[in-house]
């Protein structure tokens, strides 16, 4: 196989927007409205925390958009921002966590969700692990044909995903005769307990809104990074915020806050009430497509981080090689797909989703803080065509919010958070072993 060292620039604004939305929207929006309603119980608070989460995500999009213009040639996105701002060891820890916890573990769990809906719709006799593995294997193969092929599949699935969510919203508004208005704004006196409940509600919201940063992983394959990636980040996140808030309004119209709190499958309940069992089957198909779209986006974007690590000499050299035919980091894609399949087959994926918020938001906060460093150094000042509005205040607010979400996640799930932090910190001795091994064998 002929190999090359430079990614092909073949993605545009539409691709960037679809990648941003695809990285955020998975199966969570079909289930997380009830997770939030378990923690806060009035319509004002339920919608309010979703709006706050949306504003938080928009702040993140603003920050990442400026970072994308300051380091426009950065294949690997967030990995490169951390490397350039702090130290290669920090970037290595991020990539390590991405491969072992946040990306492949999340992909395995989402693939199992897809498999459960697929089996329910088709009656397939295969186990969920087998169906999940086949889905991961197929998407791995598609993305080995290059970013263009992977992006086309991702964009098509994203449009189907938007259609499913739009149908849920329209049916909820058309058939929801209940009122979600309530005289009680908070449902309880303002207190530390209320703040703790709001903080707990922000954890599933933070998970649902997370993922916009993965579009930066393919910065090296965009035709005009400074324009298309920054605009795609803002347009994609804004579109997701509108969809998410609309879904919650629709669920409240049909189920009310009490009904939303009582269910674990709000989307299916809304469609069942409106259209009967056929409606529930339709939304099940929509959820299956949504999970498949998330997996497709993950397959396309995250391997570019492992490619960047290998290019830095911090991973096996073969991972940093690109196919001369497709221009894709085939070894990196196969590595990620294999890891996700192993986790899916092992059945040990169940609690990994609980790890993600803790690890992800530590690095979200550090990446956002890197903007202060880049501005002080005037990094990329000659290429900057976009600046974060309200900086330094909005950037500082985002960093502090990340810290608050990490604290809330630790309080809500101390055991899982501890395990996640231990896995993340285990990367530090591995990094120094790897760099010493590289030096002694160079």
* Structural domains of the chain ordered from first start: 11-440 (1.20.1740.10)
Rounded mean pLDDT of 424-431?
A: 90
The pLDDT > 90 percentage for the chain reads 14
pLDDT at 78 over 70: yes
User: Measured in whole angstroms, how far is the alpha carbon of residue 401 from the centre of its chain?
Assistant: 17
Beta bridge partners of 323: 3
Q: What's the pLDDT score for residue 2? A: 46
Q: Classify residue 422 by burial, with Cβ atoms within 10 Å: 0-12, 13-18, 19+.
A: exposed
pLDDT at 397: 92
Q: pLDDT tier at 350 (50, 70, 90 boundaries)? A: very low
pLDDT score recorded for residue 105: 75
For 102, the enclosing helix (H) or strand (E) is: none
At 374 the pLDDT is: 94
Is residue 180 predicted with pLDDT exceeding 50? yes
Which two structure tokens, joined as six digits, stand for 85? 């701002």
What average pLDDT does range 425-435 have in this prediction? Answer: 87
- Range in 38-42, 70-74, 84-88, 428-432 the model is least confident about: 70-74
What does the angle CA 232 – CA 233 – CA 237 come to, to the nearest 5 degrees?
Answer: 110
> Higher-confidence residue: 147 or 21?
21
Sign of CA dihedral 336, 341, 342, 346: positive
Res 348: pLDDT = 44
Residue 60 structure tokens: 């993140």
Nearest by Cα to 180 from 306, 64, 46: 46
Distance of alpha carbon 401 from alpha carbon 408, whole angstroms: 10
Token representation of residue 23:
């990285």
State pLDDT tens for residues 102-158: 788 778 878 887 887 888 788 888 888 888 889 999 888 887 776 566 567 767 777
Give the pLDDT band of residue 433 (cuts 50, 70, 90).
confident
């Amino acid at each position: 196989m002929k190999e090359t060292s430079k990614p092909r620039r073949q993605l545009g604004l539409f691709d960037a927007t679809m990648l941003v939305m695809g990285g955020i929207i998975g199966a969570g929006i079909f289930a997380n409205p009830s997770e939030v309603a378990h923690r806060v119980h009035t319509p004002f608070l339920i919608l309010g925390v979703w709006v706050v989460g949306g504003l938080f995500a928009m702040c993140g999009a603003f920050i990442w958009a400026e970072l994308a213009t300051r380091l426009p040639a950065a294949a690997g996105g967030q990995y490169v921002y951390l490397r350039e701002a702090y130290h290669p060891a920090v970037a290595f820890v991020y990539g390590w966590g991405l491969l072992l916890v946040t990306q492949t573990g999340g992909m395995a769990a989402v693939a199992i969700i897809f498999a459960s809906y697929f089996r329910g719709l088709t009656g397939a006799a295969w186990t969920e692990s087998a169906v999940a593995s086949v889905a991961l294997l197929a998407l791995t193969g598609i993305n080995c044909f290059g970013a263009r092929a992977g992006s086309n599949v991702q964009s098509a699935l994203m449009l189907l995903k938007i259609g499913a969510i739009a149908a849920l919203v329209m049916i909820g508004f058309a058939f929801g005769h209940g009122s979600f208005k309530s005289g009680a704004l908070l449902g309880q006196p303002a207190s530390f307990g209320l703040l703790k409940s709001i903080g707990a509600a922000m954890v599933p919201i933070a998970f649902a809104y997370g993922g916009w940063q993965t579009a930066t992983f393919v910065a090296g394959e965009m035709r005009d990074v400074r324009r298309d990636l920054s605009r795609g980040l803002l347009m994609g996140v804004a579109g997701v915020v509108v969809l998410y808030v609309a879904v919650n309004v629709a669920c409240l119209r049909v189920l009310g806050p009490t009904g939303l709190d009582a269910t674990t499958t709000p989307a299916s309940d809304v469609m069942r009430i409106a259209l009967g069992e056929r409606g529930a089957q339709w939304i099940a198909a929509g959820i299956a497509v949504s999970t498949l779209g998330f997996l497709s986006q993950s397959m396309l974007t995250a391997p570019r981080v492992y490619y960047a690590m290998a290019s830095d000499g911090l991973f096996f050299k073969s991972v940093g090689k690109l196919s001369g035919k497709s221009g894709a980091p085939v070894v990196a894609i196969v590595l990620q797909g294999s890891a996700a399949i192993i986790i899916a087959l092992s059945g040990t994926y169940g609690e990994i989703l609980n790890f993600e918020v803790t690890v992800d938001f530590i690095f979200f906060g550090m990446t956002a803080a890197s903007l202060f460093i880049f501005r002080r150094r005037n990094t990329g000042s000659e290429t900057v065509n976009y600046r974060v509005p309200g900086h330094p205040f909005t950037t500082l607010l985002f960093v502090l919010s990340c810290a608050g979400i990490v604290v809330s996640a630790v309080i809500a799930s101390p055991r899982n958070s501890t395990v996640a932090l231990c896995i993340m910190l285990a990367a530090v001795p591995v990094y120094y072993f790897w760099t010493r091994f590289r030096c002694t064998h160079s």
